[in-house]
């Protein structure tokens, strides 16, 4: 019986390995991009639904919600509404923390719509004053995760106060309490040349994890637009 000398030579094996790794190198990055594209589409859908809920709230209360979390059901009596179910929509699939660390922008921890204790754990340099602590009391405590930043938060907008003159500040401070909140700052921006492109909700995770643009839900017309992290410089 003739015995076949089987197997590959070392050279053949190396060539096969080289070809496989070349192909894998071409296919894998495009696969991860395709997955991220899917996650972006999911995030856009989340933002659209959040926009609808904000508008429904506005129609009912003639104001914007204090926090996104109050748009959801709550275990606390008298807190939370039924516009957005249980808040699963607040998790962006690109956010590997699943909303536990808020929106991830370390410059502005005070607009994370997660419990204040979680914000302080994730952003240890943030020491909220009494004003911000009180503002966090308006949240819905049943909602503990949120990947998005809420640009209309009732916390103090320190960057606005430090970068605008007294006239701008007194104009923006519509309730006259001597403090400009994020909501007051954004409404001021919307009437000072930023048109419909002032964001009300933002997702930074596509930028942080995949170097993609930031996804924004626009104030008033609720279209979703992309921008750099500093949206003022890319849309103004």
Three-state secondary structure call for residue 154: coil
Tell me how far, at minimum, the Cβ of 28 lies from Zn ion, in Å: 22
In this structure, what are the phi and psi dihedrals at residue 129, rounded to the nearest 5 degrees? -80, 180
- Cβ partners under 8 Å of residue 95, min gap 6: 104, 147, 203, 205, 209
Query: Which residues on adjacent β-strands are paired with residue 188?
Result: none
Tell me how far, at minimum, the Cβ of 159 lies from Zn ion, in Å: 23
Tell me how far, at minimum, the Cβ of 122 lies from Zn ion, in Å: 17
| Tokens coding 147 | 């990947």
Closer residue to Zn ion (CB): 72 or 214: 214
- For Zn ion, the binding residues (CB under 5 A) are 43, 92, 203, 205
Closer residue to Zn ion (CB): 50 or 203: 203
Closer residue to Zn ion (CB): 74 or 94: 94
Tell me how far, at minimum, the Cβ of 217 lies from Zn ion, in Å: 11
Closer residue to Zn ion (CB): 44 or 56: 44
Tell me how far, at minimum, the Cβ of 177 lies from Zn ion, in Å: 33
Tell me how far, at minimum, the Cβ of 215 lies from Zn ion, in Å: 5
Element (H, E) at 224: strand 224-227
Closer residue to Zn ion (CB): 94 or 181: 94
Nearest one of 35, 62, 79, 87 to 206, comparing CA atoms:
35
Return the residue matching tokens 């990947």.
147
Q: Are 175 and 145 in contact (CB under 8 A)?
A: no
Nearest one of 180, 119, 120, 130 to 152, comparing CA atoms:
180
Return the residue matching tokens 């006239």.
167
Closer residue to Zn ion (CB): 74 or 147: 147
Three-state secondary structure call for residue 10: helix
């Amino acid at each position: 019986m003739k015995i076949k000398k089987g197997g590959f030579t070392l050279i053949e094996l190396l060539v096969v390995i080289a070809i496989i790794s070349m192909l894998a190198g071409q296919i894998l990055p495009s696969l991860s991009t395709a997955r991220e594209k899917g996650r972006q589409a999911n995030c856009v859908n989340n933002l659209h639904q959040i926009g609808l809920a904000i508008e429904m709230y506005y129609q009912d209360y003639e104001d914007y919600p204090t926090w996104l979390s109050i748009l959801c059901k709550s275990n606390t009596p008298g807190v939370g509404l039924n516009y957005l179910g249980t808040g699963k929509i607040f998790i962006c699939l690109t956010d590997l923390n699943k909303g536990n660390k808020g929106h991830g922008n370390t410059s502005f921890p005070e607009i994370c719509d997660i419990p204040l204790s979680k914000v302080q754990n994730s952003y240890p340099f943030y020491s909220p004053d009494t004003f911000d602590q009180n503002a966090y009391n308006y949240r819905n405590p049943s909602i503990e995760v949120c990947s998005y930043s809420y640009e209309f938060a009732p916390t103090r907008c320190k960057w606005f106060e430090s970068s605008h003159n007294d006239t701008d500040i007194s104009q923006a401070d519509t309730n006259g309490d001597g403090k400009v909140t994020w909501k007051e700052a954004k409404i001021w921006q919307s009437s000072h040349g930023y048109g419909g492109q002032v964001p009300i909700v933002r997702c930074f995770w596509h930028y942080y994890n995949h170097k993609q643009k930031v996804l924004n839900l626009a104030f008033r017309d609720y279209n979703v637009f992309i921008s750099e992290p500093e949206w003022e410089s890319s849309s103004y």
